[in-house]
Amino acid sequence: MSQALAGRSHQEECRIVIPDDDPPVMARSAAFRQKLTAYDVQLYSSRPATPEDLITRIGDASIVINIRATSRFSGEVLSRSRNLRLISIWGTGTDHIDLEAAKRCRIGVTNTPGVSAVAVAEHTLSLIIAVAKRTVTIDHEVREGKWPRALATQLQGKTLGLIGTGTIGREVAKLAKGIGMHVIAWTFHPNGSAAEWVPFDEVFRLSDVVSLHVRLSAETAGMVRRQHFELMKPAAIFINTARGPIVCEPDLIEVLRADRIAGAGLDVFETEPLPPDSPFFALPNTVLSPHSAGITPEATEAGLALAIENVFAWLAGRPTNVVV
């Protein structure tokens, strides 16, 4: 157990703050009603407007349960939250937290890995199918009184290329194999038989569908660029349900405008929500969703419950799902 995570007993008083439950998920959850009623909990139903606002909301709390990645736990926020000892994240992403600063401030960070893997994998498959079958475009045309008979892509026998084979990537591989796709993959630490392992560039060169499943970090930010899209087949599809900044977005927009690849299914973007003038809105070969891949009732409740259980484990001196 790290020094930062030296826990306290359940009996010792602690103050818990949930600074960003907007839109509300924690306030509506059974886990919140059933597990936190005995604790001093302050829940905010809006998002902090500024770093100063976040610091004010944290106040003298020793524990934060973080709901939204828009709450940025910078080095300054962490250093000025003098009583803070644990940030329990609902979700897996940690790019909104200065982890090195958390270590220096002896603040533990936990997350909820795996709980939304099935939901994200299903959403990934739905985007693949929607783009391949041109479902959204054809639906619009039929509603306009047209009767399009254009050919759609058949996925059975095609190759799915995964960038990253963590819990989500492996679930996507299972679903793809279930509809008869061949799965190849690149990952930082390949092991097992989830896919046929190939070099990074070969995923783009060989695949009919490329799907991203790595975490956003200094190592992965901007890792997919124009040179990789140029390797893809003209009929290939690009899918991103990971994080927007992993992709150089202007490069992706350029190849989609030029029909250099067949299309893209995107759940994540560099700027969220998408601004009103986003170029993606004018691209008919894209299917867009609002960073909602992991949001199902089942995954949401399981994740919130695990975020709370991580607090209990830390209080008992047996921290689980530790990031730092």
Q: Number of structural domains, the chain?
A: 2
Same domain, residue pair 192 and 210:
yes
Q: Which two tokens stand for residue 212?
A: 């991203």
pLDDT above 80 (res 254): yes
- Residue 69 CA to residue 216 CA, distance in Å, equals 12
Name the catalytic one among 122, 202, 270, 272. Answer: 272
Sign of CA dihedral 159, 290, 30, 71: positive
- Pair 324, 108: CB distance under 8 Å: yes
Q: What is the pTM of this model?
A: 0.89
- Point out which residues pair with 282 in neighbouring strands: none
Q: Residue 146 falls within a domain, yes or no?
A: yes
Q: Which two tokens stand for residue 144?
A: 């306009």
Q: Residue 323 falls within a domain, yes or no?
A: no
What proportion of the chain, given as a percentage, has pLDDT over 90?
A: 93
pLDDT for 164-194, tens place per residue? 999 999 999 999 999 999 999 999 999 999 9
Active site annotation includes 219? no
- Pair 102, 4: CB distance under 8 Å: yes
Q: Residue 168 falls within a domain, yes or no?
A: yes
- Residue 160 CA to residue 124 CA, distance in Å, equals 12
Domain range for 81 is: 3-115+297-315
Q: Residue 39 falls within a domain, yes or no?
A: yes
pLDDT above 60 (res 89): yes
CATH of the domain at 91: 3.40.50.720
Active site annotation includes 10? no
**Strand ranges (E), 36-186:** 40-43, 63-66, 86-89, 108-110, 159-163, 182-186
Q: Which two tokens stand for residue 307?
A: 């975020």
Sign of CA dihedral 253, 255, 257, 259: negative
Same domain, residue pair 183 and 243:
yes
Q: Residue 180 falls within a domain, yes or no?
A: yes
Name the catalytic one among 8, 72, 106, 291. Answer: 291
Q: What is the mean pLDDT of residues 264-275?
A: 97
